[in-house]
Amino acid sequence: MQNDTKHKKKKAPIICAAIVIGLLAAYLAVILFALIGEAHGELFALIFLLLYGGLIVAVVFGVIAALRQRLKEIEGGEEEDAKKY
């Protein structure tokens, strides 16, 4: 019973993280498409789009780190501790 409850609580963070990562991946694909299609010969545009794409990748890693932390909290039962206050 306890394990089933934890499994249900893990679904929402995983689904939300997957949606955010999917949207960011689509946005990154658009940026890379612009990089391939429009930035030929323009050094400033190339550098800007690469830095912007790197920021998106950093956000994806942040979402994954937050998801791992949330799953550890659920596994450890810390969300029940917060209800006491």
Per-residue pLDDT reduced to its tens digit, 11-69? 889 999 999 999 999 998 888 887 777 666 677 877 887 888 899 999 999 999 999 99
Q: Rounded to whole angstroms, how far apart are CA atoms 39 and 34?
A: 7
Question: What single DSSP character describes residue 85?
Answer: -
Q: How far is CA 29 from the centre of its chain?
A: 15
Q: Rounded to whole angstroms, how far apart are CA atoms 22 and 15?
A: 10
Tokens of 23: 């949207």
pTM of the model: 0.74
Q: Rounded to whole angstroms, how far apart are CA atoms 41 and 78?
A: 53
Q: Rounded to whole angstroms, how far apart are CA atoms 78 and 20?
A: 24
